[in-house]
Amino acid sequence: MRIYTSESVSVGHPDKLADQISDALLDAFFENEAPEYKGQTRVAVETLLTRGVAVVAGEVRTEGYVDVAKVVRETISSAGYTDTDYGFDGRTCGVLVAIQEQSADIAQGVDKNAAHKSDKKVGAGDQGMMFGYATRETPELMPLPLSIAHALVRKSVEVREEQAKSGTGPLLLPDAKSQVSVEYDDKGKPVRINTIVLSHQHVDALKLEAVQAMVNAEVIKPVLANYTEYIQGEPLLHINPTGKFVIGGPQGDTGVTGRKIIVDTYGGMAPHGGGAFSGKDPTKVDRSAAYVARYIAKNVVAAGLADRCVIQLAYAIGVAEPVAVNVDTFGTETIDPSEISKRIREAYDLTPEGIINLLGLLNVKYLPTAKNGHFGNSAFPWEDTSNSSKLL
């Protein structure tokens, strides 16, 4: 018996809020680009949040105009930070913008007909390795501990928003973190939810006992009702284990884009690359190749070729074709793994341009990806398995 643990964080967590700002800006740059410039906008934006201040820095190439400070403020406010009593207020916080033009040295390796005139393809925006993962543990083919952890913080947001609509205002505040530990048997099958940790920011007037009772009754129990097959006895609960949690969000902890990539990917149940996703346009393979790797892994599992699959891709900056494509099915495959690899290479164009076209990445709204993980949401195109028969 082994125990595996994954965590998630709410939209009000400072790091996740920084991700949302970066992706809201990416969406805005795409939405405001000139029609004749579509596909040529380049964005690499990072956000840092601390008490009362948002700092946005990065490199952008665009022919459109974006009111950066307005997007930043709207994103902060939409996460629930609308009052200085909550430690952060999107309407009044300072916004420092330090965005410059994309480096010409990088652009020459990415743009068509630039560094590699012979193949006339968009080159990778950076070097690196990217991973995609899928497992039959859940209907969405995601690891069970992470799926539950995401569900807990999604539910906590719903509860907080319902409280905000009431006459008294919210008692739970935007910052929250969940952690779920699940027992697996010797065959790698999840069998029991062992421990749940949920820390939730709250108003000062709410005592610890009231917070614990509220979170258990309104967040944890409704979520666990969807996972009854994994309930054997009562899971161990740690609700606000440090006690009082009033100072939260950017007031309590600095937030930085890309610091929650375990939450964004597979909760530690599978490898991930070194690059973060949020704030990057899809020529950056840190993002787009991670998406197509998930797409391929999920389709391998959906096609019945394996019960569990990791896809690894690797790229060199400025070069279109991946330098490596690897498949690991952990002994769960139904055909020879080398045949799976062969079918993948034949079925998919894994150049940046091929990935962008396959998944329609110029038409995606990226802000939702920065809220509850980039994988497992059926609304995202890289989660589609309708063409899994292509691998048969």
Q: How far is Cα of residue 74 from the mean position of the Cα atoms in its chain? A: 20
CA separation for the pair 215, 207 (Å, rounded): 12
Per-residue model confidence (pLDDT) at position 87: 82
Per-residue model confidence (pLDDT) at position 90: 92
Please name the helix (run of DSSP H) or strand (run of DSSP E) that holds residue 59, with its range, or none: strand 53-61
Per-residue model confidence (pLDDT) at position 36: 76
Percent residues over pLDDT 70 in the chain: 95
Per-residue model confidence (pLDDT) at position 331: 95
Could you tell me the CA-to-CA distances from 162 to 56, 96, 149, 291 in Å, in that order?
A: 31, 32, 20, 33
Could you tell me the CA-to-CA distances from 115 to 61, 108, 111, 119, 310 in Å, in that order?
A: 18, 6, 8, 10, 32
Mean pLDDT along residues 81-110: 81
Across the chain, what does the average pLDDT equal? 92
Per-residue pLDDT at 356 exceeds 60: yes
Per-residue model confidence (pLDDT) at position 336: 94
Q: Pick the range with the lowest mean pLDDT from 46-50, 115-119, 143-147, 181-185.
A: 115-119
CA separation for the pair 264, 137 (Å, rounded): 18
Burial degree of 381 (CB within 10 A; 0-12, 13-18, 19+): middle
Per-residue pLDDT at 105 exceeds 60: no
For residue 234, what is the DSSP state?
A: P
pTM of the model: 0.94
Per-residue pLDDT at 117 exceeds 60: no
Per-residue pLDDT at 115 exceeds 50: no
Per-residue pLDDT at 112 exceeds 60: no
Per-residue pLDDT at 239 exceeds 70: yes
Residue 107's pLDDT band, with cuts at 50, 70 and 90, is low
Residue 104's pLDDT band, with cuts at 50, 70 and 90, is low
* Distant-in-sequence contacts of 229-236, Cβ < 8 A, 24+ apart: 230/144, 230/182, 230/190, 230/191, 230/192, 230/193, 231/192, 231/193, 232/191, 232/192, 235/193, 235/194, 235/195, 235/196, 236/194, 236/195, 236/196
Per-residue pLDDT at 155 exceeds 60: yes
Alpha-helical segments (H) within 51-113: 68-78, 104-110
Residue 116's pLDDT band, with cuts at 50, 70 and 90, is very low
Burial degree of 204 (CB within 10 A; 0-12, 13-18, 19+): exposed
Higher pLDDT, 76 or 106: 76
Residue 113's pLDDT band, with cuts at 50, 70 and 90, is very low
Query: In the chain, what is the greatest distance between 2 CA atoms, to the nearest angstrom?
Result: 68
Per-residue pLDDT at 99 exceeds 50: yes
Could you tell me the CA-to-CA distances from 82 to 21, 92, 160, 202, 263 in Å, in that order?
A: 15, 9, 13, 14, 25
Mean pLDDT along residues 162-178: 90
Higher pLDDT, 107 or 224: 224
Mean pLDDT along residues 139-153: 98
Could you tell me the CA-to-CA distances from 201 to 90, 136, 178, 244, 311 in Å, in that order?
A: 18, 34, 12, 8, 37
Per-residue pLDDT at 110 exceeds 70: no
pLDDT tens-digit map of 40-89: 889 999 999 999 999 999 999 988 889 999 999 999 999 999 988 888 99
Tokens of 341: 């690899």
In the chain the first and final C-alpha atoms are separated, in Å, by 35
